[in-house]
Chains A and B, each alone.
Chain A
Amino acid sequence: MTSLPSETTGKKLGLVIDLDTCVGCHACVVNCKEWNTGGYGAPLSDLDAYGADPVGSWLNRIHTFEVTPDDAPAQIVHFPKSCLHCDNAPCVTVCPTGASYKRGEDGIVLVDESMCIGCGLCAWACPYGAREMDPVENVMKKCTLCVDRIYNDNLPEEDQIPACVRTCPAEARHFGDLGDPNSDISKLVEERGGIDLMPEQGTKPVNKYLPPRPKTRPVAEPEPKRSKTLDAKGFLGWIDKTLEKL
């Protein structure tokens, strides 16, 4: 079970995150925690939630980066990060118990919490920091791609998408089949030049990130002409300023 699936349907469910439109509001983070604390597996716990040193498990977190081009002012990029459901998932093959697995039918990477011994090796194997040990249950938690929503016929159709995608007010998050080149989400990746995170790690992530669109740069304003008499002081200065005002 711990090996990667040998037979797949070619379906690769995943997310596409638009770094151009993400406003960094953390709504996806909150809705992820809300849904997943009552859904698949053990609740996502918090310790000292209202105290001085809160810590807890989250499946999705938003970093904010400052990106500075060589020849322009810095820009801010909000950067949501969750499991990328890699094709070549190193977190799966290191698992000693078979708790960590990738599904052949849709490519989702999941943890069977009843088999997890909490050794933490899968979190070490992941370059993206997508896995966090739950501080109360002591089992590994990770994004399930809301596997308990997307196939859930008891929910209205518009809710059968991951919680983070459903809640995003900026429509910066998209869900679909990245294994199908004709899906809307694959076309979006194609059109916007979607990228892989840390491709050099060889993980072949399924989730893609859409880079921010190029900024329109302000045309450099010509240097204002300095008056040669600006520095004149005393009586001459007074004359200069007074005549200027006339």
Chain B
Amino acid sequence: MHPAISVIFFTVTSGAGFGFLALIGLGVPLPADGIGAFVAAVIAGGLCVAGLVSSTFHLGHPERAWRAFSQWRSSWLSREGVCAVFTLILFGLYALNWVFFGERNYLLGLLVTLGSLATVFTTAMIYAQLKTVPSWNTLLTPVCYMLFALGSGVLLAASFGFWQSSGGMTVKFIALFAIAIAWSAKFLWWQAATGNTLEGRGSTPETATGLGSIGKVRLLEKPHSGENYLTKEMVHQVGRKHAAKLRTLAVLFGAGVPILLCLLIFVSGMPSYVLALAFISWMLGLFAERWLFFAEAKHAVSLYY
């Protein structure tokens, strides 16, 4: 599949934003003063909104985007839009209360957390629902998206330095575990992807053409001399060229560097806000991971080309 920059930026950035929202809603310790609360709320909301705005860049008609709120009964994309807007409205109320009155409403926070998790889940289901792309068509896809979002949220929340420990565990280890669990899920996803192939699902050029009863099928001539929308969008090849290198970079920046920083902070006693560096590296890793998510995905229509 064609790795559209706008969609990669959308899923990573708004995933991080909603992951942070989920933790804020749970009431993890963050600045209580007006300015500190404002900064935290703007970072969280800003990441969500930046991602959502970016997602409209890949639309042919962004001015009609409001129509996407109508089909929530049947469409995951529509559900994602509805969940995102509802959650952001709830978070707006929560943030106003927090910034101006210094109060973090428990019930409203819980709704924000649930809404954020639902938003990331629906985002992932846009891809996971597609039978045409077997590597995406697994429950592990929403699991990875949600764990990456929560990992982003933990790193961001811990970077503020107010959250020192929870349940007797220091926040550096909570961050370390969040990173490790998210990447373990991704390794499982990569493992599953080797079996979740078109061939694994029984789709071959023979079933695509129905000519398998005669013999082995091979494309002799494309329908046209140049490219078309389908070959550009779904039979994309360029992105796969450096897949192995990109996977190494994704794991290095997304898991290796942040885990080392967590350990370094623990050993050296550096302040928690150094974790902001871990967050930046983690995001770089996630951009590479998401690029591969699209670029390596093989679509059923490729069987015709």
- Which residues of A are interface residues toward B (Cβ below 8 A)? 1-3, 19, 29, 53-58, 61-70, 72, 74-77, 79, 81, 90, 93-99, 115-121, 123-129, 132-133, 135, 137-139, 195-202, 209, 211-212
Contact = CB atoms under 8 A, between A and B. Distances in A.
- Prevailing SS type, chain A contact patch: loop
Given A197-B208, A201-B300, A117 B68 contact: yes
A169 B234 CA distance: 32
A193 B227 CA distance: 34
Interface in B217-266: 217-230, 232-234
Given A90-B131, A119-B59, A97 B301 contact: no
B62 interface: yes
Given A93-B74, A96-B75, A97-B67, A123 B229 contact: yes
B207 A199 contact: yes
Interface in B267-301: 299-301
A211 B210 contact: yes
Interface in B38-61: 58-61
Interface residues of B, number: 61
B65 interface: yes
B77 A96 contact: yes
Output the residue of A19, A29, A76, A119 with the most chain B CB within 10 A: A119
Contacts, number: 196
Contact of B60 (A79, A90, A116): A116
A23 B219 CA distance: 16
B70 A98 contact: yes
19 contacts: A2-B71, A62-B223, A65-B205, A65-B218, A68-B215, A68-B216, A96-B78, A117-B67, A119-B68, A120-B233, A125-B130, A127-B203, A127-B300, A128-B300, A129-B304, A132-B228, A135-B229, A198-B303, A209-B210
A1 B71 contact: yes
B105 interface: no
B166 interface: no
A117 B59 contact: yes
B25 interface: no
B201 A200 contact: yes
A196 B208 CA distance: 9
B239 to A, nearest CB: 16
Interface of B: 1, 58-62, 64-65, 67-71, 73-78, 81, 126, 129-133, 201-203, 205, 207-211, 213-230, 232-234, 299-301, 303-304
Given A67-B215, A77-B209, A96-B81, A124 B133 contact: yes
Contacts of A116: 60-61, 64
A28 B125 CA distance: 38
A117 to B, nearest CB: 5
A76 B220 contact: yes
Contacts of A90: 130-132
Given A97-B78, A201-B132, 19 more contacts: A2-B73, A2-B78, A3-B74, A55-B232, A56-B228, A57-B229, A62-B223, A64-B220, A67-B218, A69-B214, A79-B209, A90-B132, A94-B75, A115-B67, A117-B59, A124-B130, A129-B301, A201-B300, A202-B131
Nearest to A90: B131
B126 A195 contact: no
Given A96-B75, A97-B67, A132 B229 contact: yes
A66 B221 CA distance: 9
B224 A61 contact: yes
Contacts of A68: 215-216, 218
A200 B202 contact: yes
A208 B59 CA distance: 33
Nearest to A63: B223
Contact of A129 (B62, B65, B75, B230): B230
Contacts of B131: 90, 127, 201-202
Contacts of B71: 1-2, 95-98
Contacts of B133: 124
A94 B69 CA distance: 13
B77 A139 contact: no
A77 B65 CA distance: 43
Contacts of B303: 198
A64 B129 CA distance: 31
Contacts of B219: 63-66
Nearest to B301: A129
A9 B60 CA distance: 34
B234 A198 contact: no
A137 to B, nearest CB: 8
Given A81-B304, A124-B299, A132-B230, A67 B211 contact: yes
